Structure formats: structure tokens, C-alpha cells
Amino acid sequence: MNLDDVYNWILNHKNNYPGKHQESQPRTLQSYKPLEAKAQFHIVIRATAEYIKEKMLNGNGVNLKEFGAFTMEIISDYVKPLQHSGFKMTEDLDIQRADRKHVHKIRPCFIPDNQFKYFLQRYPGKEEVSKPQSQHSIYQKGFGMNFCNAGPIAASCYLGKDVVQSIHYSLVKAIQDLTRLGHDLHIDFGFIKISVVNKDLKYKYEQSFINRLNQTDYELKMRKSDMATSQHWRATSEEKWSKSTLNNLLTRPNPTQVQENYEKSMALKIMSLDLNTAEQTNYSKNQKVKLPALNK
């Protein structure tokens, strides 16, 4: 079963997966018309995949509640001490980072949640990520972990935040139920493919995505922001949102053109209604119309 089959399973079992995702919900922007229930699943999960991908490319992991964590492991080879590494104080720092770039490698991984592990018989190593000593929370599965925030995803889809949360919850619950029932699942998020065959979980990241992770130095990826500290705190959320890939997921329509098309469609409906309800008469055939004489 792929994602489309999972959507059909959820919509066909309304009693097991109740919520706002079962019906078409209004959009936050009036220019967009409401979508069907299945189309809402497609657009929200696509936006969720873009959200996770963007966070990972910025050096952060994402934990999707009760499903798993999308994170990365930094593998570093042996590094010589400073006095033996030929460190030059006069050399530019970017050049030195490029010299030792081959030392650090990033390996993306997926760690299933404990509730999801309960329904699995086999999955990749229990401790794929070496947890740093500074992280004391049991929910931290890697470096710079964030929970999957439904706010940016809802803003990119022009849907309510509660609708996105309902879709996330029902999708994770359906994946757990289908795994428990012994169904084979093939979940494709675009940049990662997760498969559950005979309750054996395997995943594979796209090679192009791995190459993008390793294009720049990991020290640059782990930074909170590319801007200076003073600029980072002065920047508004609108400026940060404009740089996000989620902002360009759906193009905003021209409101003037949308209003004109709406008025034209309403005028056509009124005209068709008048033609359908008009009574057929023979008044024009029986009545003699006297036309004015033409002046020659």
C-alpha cells in the first residue's frame, strides 16, 4: 500500500479515524476554493515533506509525533591536534574549513518512535545516532531536533492548523494500524522512501538529497542563522518566512482576476437560470408589429 491507498483507508473508515480531515474544509484565503478530502491529504503531506526537507538541509532534525525522527549523524574521522595540523593564523577560516571538509560526513537517518516500534518486528539499529551528553530529554533523537510544527505547513497550504494536525494524527494512526494488521507499506516522501514489509522497517534517502547535505561544511549547517546576531533578532518573521521554500509551494493568485472570473461565472449561472425557467409563448408570432415607415 502506498500513500494514496492509506488515504483511501482513512476515508473509508470514518469511525476509526474521526476528525476534520474527513470532510472538505474551507481555505484561509478566499481566492482558493475548498478541496476534496483526499486532495487535502495530498497537499498537506507534500507540504510536510518539504518542511522536513528544509529543516534537515538547515542542519536540524524533525520529530513527527508517534511516527519517528528525521535526523542525521555526523561522522568525523580522526583529527590531528592543533599543534600537528599545520594551523595557520594568517590563513582565511573558510579556506581551512575547505581543507578539512573531507573529515566530516553527514549520514541522514530515520529513527522510528517507540509507539511505532511496538508494532514492528525488525527495524534499523536501536541506537543509530550517538546521543550527545548535553541532551537529557528522551525526545531528543539527534542534533538540533524540532517537533513538526503544523503552523508553517498550514500557512503554505492555506488551511487551518487544526486540519493539518488532524491529518498528521490520522496518517500516523493509520500507518500503525496497517502495520499491526500485517499490510506492506511503501511511504514515499520524495526525499526519503520508507517501506514496511512483513513488519520489517527499511528506509532509503535519495542520493541527490544526501549530496545536498554534504555540499557545504557541517559547521555552517549547524549554525542557527547565516545573519549576524544583531540582525537575527531584529529580522521579522515575515522576512524569514519569505526565504522559506514552503512560501513558494503554492503561488498566490491575483485577487482582481479571481474576482472577475467569479463574477463572470455567477452571471453565466443567472443567464442559464433565466433561459431554463422561461415559459415558451407564441406572442411574437401572433402579434402584428407595425414598423415605422422609412423616409425615402
Query: What pLDDT digit, counting tens, does each position of 166-179 carry?
Result: 999 999 999 999 99
Query: Residue 73's pLDDT band (boundaries 50, 70, 90)?
Result: confident
User: Given this model, what pLDDT does residue 83 score?
Assistant: 47
Distance, CA of 254 to CA of 251 (rounded, Å): 9
- Residue 175 in any domain: the answer is yes
Q: What size, in residues, is the chain?
A: 296
- Residue 69 in any domain: the answer is yes
Mean pLDDT of the region 4-32: 88
Let me know: does 53 contact 125? Beta carbons within 8 Å.
no
Can you give the residue range of the structural domain that contains 116? 3-248
Taking the whole predicted model, whether its pTM rises above 0.85 is answered as no
SS3 74: strand
Say how far residue 67 (Cα) sits from the centre of its chain. Answer: 15
Residue-wise pLDDT tens digits, 278-287 = 566 665 556 6
Count: domains in the chain = 1
Please say whether the dihedral angle defined by the alpha carbons of residues 96, 102, 108 and 114, taken in this order, is positive or negative.
negative
Let me know: does 71 contact 113? Beta carbons within 8 Å.
no
- Residue 289 in any domain: the answer is no
Q: What percent of the chain has a predicted confidence (pLDDT) above 90?
A: 18
Query: Residue 32's pLDDT band (boundaries 50, 70, 90)?
Result: confident
Q: What are phi and psi of 70, to 5 degrees?
A: -100, 105
More confident residue, 63 or 213: 63
Q: For all residues of the chain together, what is the average pLDDT?
A: 77
- Residue 241 in any domain: the answer is yes
User: Given this model, what pLDDT does residue 138 score?
Assistant: 47
Q: What are phi and psi of 185, to 5 degrees?
A: -120, 140
Mean pLDDT of the region 123-151: 64
- Residue 283 in any domain: the answer is no
- Report DSSP letters for 159-219, one per residue: --HHHHHHHHHHHHHHHHHHHHTT--EEEE-SSEEEEEETTEEEEEE-HHHHHHHTSS-HH
* Angle made by CA atoms 208, 210, 216, in degrees to the nearest 5: 105
Mean pLDDT of the region 79-88: 52
User: Given this model, what pLDDT does residue 126 score?
Assistant: 52
SS3 93: helix
Strand pairing report for 68-76 and 104-112: antiparallel
